A = this chain, B = another copy of it.
């Protein structure tokens, strides 16, 4: 790749979710959990993957004020100024725009790789190749996204329709499509020209800021004020005061669906946005009876179960099928795999009674 010293990573790690309760909590969301194939948190794994292509010094993490310290602990390689803490989450357009001002101040020609911190990616060379190809394509001024070859008619993801090939392995993105119903999802997969929208983007920092000025001018003006304040050394107070009033718009809706010249690089690596405990079961290595169990577990006539428990805890399953069992030490969840999404009802009940274990 040319100009790899111009590449910066912006890792989005501000998310909070309930779908991995009780392991995830409002103060320890999914990106801090080791839901992948090894003991690293998803955030740490995201950073280490991108560090195959660019150094830690050129990495920014956008997170919330509440989560800043956890990010520092997970990524001690980063300097404090590389962690941007939002006072409140305002969706991805403000988050990416704000990070772009920081990147552009360091290098007017910088290219940004924008990467969610809470996705699962099986480590392969294919991922690094895709990353390099995306950064390369972005040097030409394109808005670039990674699309994942769909393995099934998933209704939980957005899709990208792919057009003509404009460079080897780089295609014109014809349109973005919201999460489809089952029938449309099946059509997309049959059609062959639709990819899952991975939420990974590449562009020149200057280019995304121009696009924000054009399509989200209110946000653009605020970001210019942030830049002026940052150069004067007093950005923090301004951000704290005004960030909550920024428009809560996604980068997909606010920018990608409006600009022309969006490219897509098809990714062939294994990927998941880890939408529920069911996806953790799908991705983990299962025993011959489709159980995912901690080391030393005893399973008698048990199949299709997913169990997560504290290290060293002895798990014994007898005669149970297709359960999700998550022991988080202070809380224990048991739910059939096919109802894993309903964990949100538990979190809602906890919120209602003011229980902090949510």
Contacts and interface: CB of A to CB of B under 8 A. Distances in A.
A325 to B, nearest CB: 6
Contact of A320 (B323, B345, B346): B323
Interface stretch (A43-51, A202-210, A216-224, A334-342): A334-342
A346 B315 contact: no
A22 B342 contact: no
A349 B315 CA distance: 12
Given A345-B300, A349-B298, A330 B314 contact: yes
Contacts of A126: none
A269 B22 CA distance: 43
A355 interface: yes
Nearest to A315: B332
B336 A316 contact: no
B318 A345 contact: yes
A298 B332 contact: no
Interface string A46-80: 00000000000000000000000000000000000
Contact of A298 (B309, B317, B339, B350): B350
A333 interface: yes
Contacts of A332: 309, 313-316, 325, 327, 332
B323 A334 contact: yes
A342 B317 CA distance: 10
A319 interface: yes
A349 B298 CA distance: 8
Interface string A294-312: 0010101000000001001
A335 B318 contact: yes
A327 B296 CA distance: 16
Contacts of A339: 318-319
A331 interface: yes
Contacts of A323: 320, 334
25 contacts: A296-B355, A298-B346, A298-B349, A298-B350, A300-B349, A309-B332, A313-B330, A314-B330, A314-B355, A314-B357, A316-B333, A316-B343, A318-B335, A318-B336, A318-B339, A318-B342, A318-B345, A318-B346, A319-B335, A319-B339, A320-B334, A320-B335, A320-B336, A327-B332, A334-B334
